[in-house]
Amino acid sequence: MFSFIMWLLVLQFFAIFLLFQVNCLSKHPILIVVSYDAFRYNFFESEELPNMEEVRHRGVYADHLINVFPTKTFPNHHTIATGLYTEVHGVIGNSFYDPLLKRIVTISPDMYNYNDNVIPIWRLNEDFEDERYSGSMMWPGGDFFYQNKAITWSMPFHSGSDWYKRIDQALAWIQDPFKPANLVMIYFEEPDTHGHAFGPNSPTVKNLIKKLDNITGYLHQKLKDNDLTDKVNVIHVSDHGMTAVSPPKFVNITQYLTNGTYEWAGASPAIQIIPHDGYEDGIYNALKAESEKHNYKVYKKSEYLTRWHYGNNRRAPPILVMANVGYALDDLIISAPKYALKYNFTLTNQSEFGVHGYDYTDPEMHPYFMAVGPKIKQKVKVNPFHTIDLFNLFCVILDLPPTKNNGTMLPSNEILIQYGYATSTIIMISVGAVVLVLVLISMAVIFTLMLIKRQQNITTTAALNKRFPQTFQNYIEAQHLLDTEEA
Ligand SMILES: [Zn+2]
């Protein structure tokens, strides 16, 4: 008897434990988006990445993504989060001159609050309906206000903070008993940070790529340990790639300009020039005259390529200088010796530095993509697609109607198992259809039986009336007789 009660208690405890586990997850679809800054698409070819390869081949991957111009960190992360081109979301560089604010803007609320039409995925998720909570683990721009509201869960960027704790915290948000996040954006600043100082081919970067492979393995092992693998969708992306540049390919463009006639912003390979009043043509002509000899191009605002979707914004500079691929500009002439000092190496002509920001058509600028989870197809490779399409993909996974954006739905169709509908919706529709069919069949059977019976009554009444015309004068009496006979 005692052991029976003990068993009951254990079972009860187990049931409560299970209930607690279930209740700690959001009732909405769950998505984690992970970004490794500057993780180039072809690191899969040059490095051994067992954990990332496992995820890649379990779910869906593309050889590369096509990102947006300029291939810099903040513009591309905000495009991933909004589905908008740089000229639409307004984050046109990692720094830029805003003529409205009349100053250079660096990362801050001013950078991201271009206008109220720009709605990042985490804001859309929380605003759509109750009990949707988003989290930003150091995602660029993730901890600022949008539409005057803060994200529920947020950890501001802190360079070098423990990677494993970032994952643990993100999973804790997803399993929070009171406000379980159904969307978490996680950011890692490598291999970008050290890639700039040592170049993408360096042992330092190779070592960091290994570490990122390990943290990928850790994330997916933790999902498995917490029984979340079939409940949480995970999308891994990067913002851009990186190419190596050495000091002989640094180009000094400011030597062609007169001090005090302009401001400049941005970093190699794209330097924004903001001429003082009356100097624009002179500066443009001076830069243009030297451009072909010195491996860079110069554009007036009216000359920006339409396909960049960059120029139609007050923040796009009057003049842009773009180094050719493999070349860098004045900012690296200044920062290269600083890197040598900070990381204690000797600067030589063979020293390599990492640069990104070139046209997205350059293969070395390409990011990577892979995804896995309950809504993601298995063992599928899709064609390269645009980062502007990721927002719609997030929306479909999260069961959100997308806000107006520059992307298409095409990749979602290729990547997701049931494009457009959640499994729960499909089950509800299926059950509803079966019930409706059963009701219709039942009604048809009842109606048919009633018709048959009525026909029998009429026939029998007619026959009886014919046989006993005096006795059975009307239908009611005949019916009475029939009822008795049937009984
Ligand atoms: Zn970046």
- What's the sign of the alpha-carbon dihedral 465, 470, 474, 476? negative
Euclidean distance between CA atoms 97 and 276, whole angstroms: 12
pLDDT confidence of residue 475: 46
Q: Find all residues with CB under 8 Å of 321, minimum gap 6, and list them.
A: 253, 270, 271, 273, 287, 296, 297, 298, 299, 329
Give the residue among 139, 106, 109 at the shortest CA–CA distance from 122.
Answer: 139
pLDDT confidence of residue 431: 62
pLDDT confidence of residue 176: 97
- % of the chain with per-residue pLDDT over 70: 85
Fold of domain 28-242+359-419: Alkaline Phosphatase, subunit A (3.40.720)
Q: How far, in Å, is the centroid of ligand 1 from the Cα of 357?
A: 9
Q: Taking phi first (over 0 means left), then psi (-120 to 50 degrees means alpha), and beta for anything else, what does residue 304 get?
A: beta
**What is the tens place of the pLDDT at every residue in 271-283?**
999 999 999 999 9
Q: How far, in Å, is the centroid of ligand 1 from the Cα of 463?
A: 93
pLDDT confidence of residue 451: 78
pLDDT level of residue 311 (50, 70, 90 thresholds): very high
SS (H, E, C) 15-47: HHHHHHHHHCCCCCCEEEEEEECCCCCCHHHHC
Q: How far, in Å, is the centroid of ligand 1 from the Cα of 81?
A: 14
pTM: 0.83
Q: How far, in Å, is the centroid of ligand 1 from the Cα of 96?
A: 16
Q: How far, in Å, is the centroid of ligand 1 from the Cα of 44?
A: 18
Measure Cα distances from 153 to 35, 156, 174, 236 in Å: 17, 10, 10, 20
Q: How far, in Å, is the centroid of ligand 1 from the Cα of 298?
A: 23
Sheet architecture: strand order including 181-188 = 153-155, 133-137, 181-188, 30-36, 232-237, 369-372, 60-62, 380-382
Euclidean distance between CA atoms 93 and 72, whole angstroms: 7
Residue 219 pairs with which residues in a beta bridge? none
pLDDT confidence of residue 479: 46
**What is the tens place of the pLDDT at every residue in 169-192?**
999 999 999 999 999 999 999 999
The mean of the pLDDT values for the chain is 90
Residue 60 pairs with which residues in a beta bridge? 371, 380
Q: Does the pLDDT value for residue 108 go beyond 80?
A: yes
Domain layout of the chain by residue ranges: 2-13+429-479, 28-242+359-419, 247-355
Q: How far, in Å, is the centroid of ligand 1 from the Cα of 470?
A: 103
| CB 420 within 8 Å of CB 396 | yes
Measure Cα distances from 253 to 49, 104, 245, 296, 319 in Å: 40, 20, 16, 9, 13
- 467 vs 193: which has the higher pLDDT: 193
Q: How far, in Å, is the centroid of ligand 1 from the Cα of 38?
A: 5
**Least confident interval from 13-22, 83-92, 441-450:** 13-22
pLDDT confidence of residue 230: 96
pLDDT confidence of residue 295: 97
Give the residue among 165, 142, 166 at the shortest CA–CA distance from 154.
Answer: 142
Residue ranges of E strands in 149-290: 153-155, 181-188, 232-237, 243-245, 262-267, 270-275
Mean pLDDT on 51-78: 98
Euclidean distance between CA atoms 487 and 483, whole angstroms: 6
**What is the tens place of the pLDDT at every residue in 35-62?**
999 999 999 998 999 999 999 999 999 9
**What is the tens place of the pLDDT at every residue in 390-446?**
999 999 999 999 999 999 999 999 999 974 454 545 555 566 667 677 778 778 777
pLDDT confidence of residue 436: 77
Q: How far, in Å, is the centroid of ligand 1 from the Cα of 367?
A: 10
Tokens of 451: 């018709």
Q: How far, in Å, is the centroid of ligand 1 from the Cα of 77?
A: 8
Q: How far, in Å, is the centroid of ligand 1 from the Cα of 52?
A: 19
- Pairing outcome for strands 369-372 and 232-237: antiparallel
| CB 75 within 8 Å of CB 91 | yes
Q: How far, in Å, is the centroid of ligand 1 from the Cα of 189?
A: 7
Q: How far, in Å, is the centroid of ligand 1 from the Cα of 179?
A: 30
Give the DSSP H/E element, type plus range, for residue 96: strand 96-98
Q: How far, in Å, is the centroid of ligand 1 from the Cα of 306?
A: 23
Q: How far, in Å, is the centroid of ligand 1 from the Cα of 211?
A: 17
Q: How far, in Å, is the centroid of ligand 1 from the Cα of 142?
A: 15
Q: How far, in Å, is the centroid of ligand 1 from the Cα of 86?
A: 15
Q: How far, in Å, is the centroid of ligand 1 from the Cα of 208?
A: 15
Q: How far, in Å, is the centroid of ligand 1 from the Cα of 366?
A: 11
Domain 247-355 has CATH 3.30.1360.180: yes
Q: Taking phi first (over 0 means left), then psi (-120 to 50 degrees means alpha), and beta for anything else, what does residue 199 get?
A: left
Give the DSSP H/E element, type plus range, for residue 211: helix 203-225
Q: How far, in Å, is the centroid of ligand 1 from the Cα of 168?
A: 23
Tokens of 249: 């390919």
Euclidean distance between CA atoms 238 and 370, whole angstroms: 10
Q: How far, in Å, is the centroid of ligand 1 from the Cα of 91?
A: 13
**What is the tens place of the pLDDT at every residue in 199-242?**
999 999 999 999 999 999 999 999 999 999 999 999 999 999 99
Mean pLDDT on 121-134: 97
Residue 166 pairs with which residues in a beta bridge? none
pLDDT confidence of residue 63: 98
User: Which among 194-198, 455-459, 477-481 has the top mean pLDDT?
Assistant: 194-198
**What is the tens place of the pLDDT at every residue in 342-399?**
999 999 999 999 999 999 999 999 999 999 999 999 999 999 999 999 999 999 999 9
pLDDT confidence of residue 447: 72
Q: Name the DSSP class of 69.
A: S
Give the DSSP H/E element, type plus range, for residue 103: strand 103-105
Q: How far, in Å, is the centroid of ligand 1 from the Cα of 182?
A: 25
Give the residue among 230, 252, 447, 441 at the shortest CA–CA distance from 336.
Answer: 252
Q: How far, in Å, is the centroid of ligand 1 from the Cα of 125?
A: 24
Q: How far, in Å, is the centroid of ligand 1 from the Cα of 466?
A: 98
Q: Does the pLDDT value for residue 473 go beyond 50?
A: no
The backbone torsions φ and ψ at residue 308, rounded to the nearest 5 degrees and listed phi first, read -70, -25
Q: How far, in Å, is the centroid of ligand 1 from the Cα of 71?
A: 8
Give the residue among 193, 387, 47 at the shortest CA–CA distance from 56.
Answer: 47
Q: How far, in Å, is the centroid of ligand 1 from the Cα of 275?
A: 28
Give the DSSP H/E element, type plus range, for residue 87: helix 86-89
Q: Does the pLDDT value for residue 327 go beyond 50?
A: yes
pLDDT confidence of residue 196: 98
Q: How far, in Å, is the centroid of ligand 1 from the Cα of 73?
A: 3
Mean pLDDT on 10-22: 51
Q: How far, in Å, is the centroid of ligand 1 from the Cα of 304?
A: 22
Q: How far, in Å, is the centroid of ligand 1 from the Cα of 74?
A: 7
Q: Does the pLDDT value for residue 245 go beyond 80?
A: yes
